[in-house]
């Protein structure tokens, strides 16, 4: 009887040990699976993320970094620390305003007022566009190292607060639009569907740059009626030429992220064109400057020393950019991308020079 009890107890102990071993083994297996899943969901190393945070803080600059702490994420949503987009949005509108001012012999005061109004509008609407982009891309931004620290993707601004902030920016933008002549209102509002849907294009087409270019150069159409003149023969070639310029510089911009974009499933002209990018950009640029020349001829402004000289310098800088940029070097792509600010400003200065000559009766 005692022997049977010992055998029974030994069997129970063996059974309990086997169950314990199975439980431990199962727990280890679950932990290993969890670790693998976490690693799969984290495309960057801790060092990469640390560097991204340091780069973001360093990039805030002397002005944004001094804002109240709670304001900084919203300033970043507007990209106030990176004004390149605001300048590139503003420039085509400035050309249209100055060209229309020359055609109508507008006063210096009214021209300066409209240039300033477009400047504020560019700042606000570019900020609204960036907020929309970050809202729609918040689950993609965390897969690209350059955008992983953006306020919504990083959790520093909630989607709900971002939507409220977008509403405030849109309201201010509409207020600026009401300061323009009534004929500008419908033309300005017509750009909003593209502005609000641009971020979606990268999900289903390799040409999101076309949507961006369509709305980013809208000022080339708006500047003329803002000065009380509608000259479609100049407005359309100026707009299409600016569209092609934007396609060129934004494709260079897209080459920064092409390796991450492939992993994240994001599409762009950089991926679509690949090694043919420079040849395509050269072709677009030839068409761009032909259209600018046509805008100058149709407006009667082509033979001004500023227009000819400024357009020549513009073309030189764009073709040099295409020739020298290293499309496989993200830092070099960024350097050449931001060079377009000065490229466009030189043309604005040249047009303004012609405008001053006309005001003084020397042209």
pLDDT band at residue 287 under the 50/70/90 scheme: very high
Residue 129: inside a domain? yes
Residue 46: inside a domain? no
pLDDT reported for residue 129: 92
Residue 79: inside a domain? yes
Percent of the chain exceeding pLDDT 70 equals 88
Percent of the chain exceeding pLDDT 90 equals 70
Is-contact 302 345, C-beta < 8 A? Answer: no
- Which residues form the domain of 270? 69-358
pLDDT reported for residue 27: 38
Residue 96: inside a domain? yes
Residue 142: inside a domain? yes
* Angle in degrees, 0-180, between the axes of helices 192-204 and 108-136, rounded to the nearest 10: 40
Average pLDDT, the chain: 88
For residue 101 the two structure tokens come to 């001012």
Could you tell me how far CA 2 lies from the centroid of its own chain?
Answer: 84
SS3 218: coil
Residue 72: how many other CB atoms lie within 10 Å? 19
- 115 closest CA partner among 352, 332, 319: 352
Q: Which CATH number do you get for residue 117? A: 1.10.357.140
Residue 249: inside a domain? yes
Residues 6+ apart with CB under 8 A from 144: 257, 260, 261, 264, 266
Note the pLDDT tens digit of each residue in 75-94: 999 999 999 999 999 999 99
For the chain, state the CA radius of gyration. 28
Gap between the Cα atoms of 10 and 326, Å rounded: 75
Q: Could you identify the residue written with the tokens 């005061």?
A: 109
Note the pLDDT tens digit of each residue in 125-181: 999 999 999 998 888 888 877 788 999 999 999 999 999 999 999 999 999 999 999
Residues 257-261: contacts with CB within 8 Å, 24+ apart? 257/144, 257/146, 257/330, 260/143, 260/144, 260/145, 260/146, 261/144
The reported pTM is 0.85
pLDDT reported for residue 291: 98
Domain count, the chain: 1
Residue 48: inside a domain? no
Q: What is the mean pLDDT of residues 222-246?
A: 97
More confident residue, 190 or 23: 190
pLDDT reported for residue 45: 87
Residue 209: inside a domain? yes
């Amino acid at each position: 009887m005692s022997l049977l009890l010992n055998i029974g107890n030994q069997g129970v102990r063996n059974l309990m040990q086997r169950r314990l071993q199975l439980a431990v083994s199962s727990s280890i297996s679950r932990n290993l699976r969890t670790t693998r899943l976490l690693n799969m969901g984290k495309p960057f190393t801790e060092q990469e993320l640390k560097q991204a945070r340091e780069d973001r803080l360093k990039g805030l600059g002397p002005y944004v970094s001094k804002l109240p702490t709670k304001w900084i994420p919203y300033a970043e949503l507007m990209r106030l620390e990176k004004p390149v987009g605001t300048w590139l949005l503003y420039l085509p509108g400035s050309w249209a305003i100055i060209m229309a001012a020359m055609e109508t012999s507008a006063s210096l005061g009214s021209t300066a007022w409209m240039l300033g109004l477009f400047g504020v509008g560019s700042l606000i609407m570019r900020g609204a566009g960036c907020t929309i982009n970050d809202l729609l891309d918040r689950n993609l931004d965390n897969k690209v190292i350059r955008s992983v620290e953006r306020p919504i993707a990083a959790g520093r601004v909630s989607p709900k607060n971002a939507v409220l902030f977008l509403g405030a920016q849109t309201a201010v933008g509409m207020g600026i639009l009401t300061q323009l002549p009534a004929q500008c209102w419908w033309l300005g509002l017509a750009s909003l569907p593209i502005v609000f849907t641009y971020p979606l294009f990268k999900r289903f087409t390799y040409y999101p740059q076309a949507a961006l270019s369509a709305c980013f150069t809208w000022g080339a159409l708006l500047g003329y009626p803002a000065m009380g003149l509608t000259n479609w023969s100049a407005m359309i070639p100026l707009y299409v030429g600016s569209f092609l310029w934007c396609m060129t510089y934004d494709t260079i911009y897209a080459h920064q992220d092409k390796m991450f974009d492939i992993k994240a499933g994001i599409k762009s002209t950089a991926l679509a064109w690949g090694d043919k990018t420079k040849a395509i950009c050269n072709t677009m640029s030839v068409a761009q400057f032909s259209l600018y020349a046509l805008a100058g001829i149709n407006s009667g402004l082509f033979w001004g020393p500023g227009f000819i000289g400024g357009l020549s310098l513009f073309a030189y800088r764009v073709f040099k950019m295409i020739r020298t940029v290293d499309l496989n070097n993200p830092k070099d792509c960024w350097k050449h991308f931001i060079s377009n600010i000065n490229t466009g400003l030189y043309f604005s200065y040249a047009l303004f020079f012609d405008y001053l000559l006309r005001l003084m009766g020397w042209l």
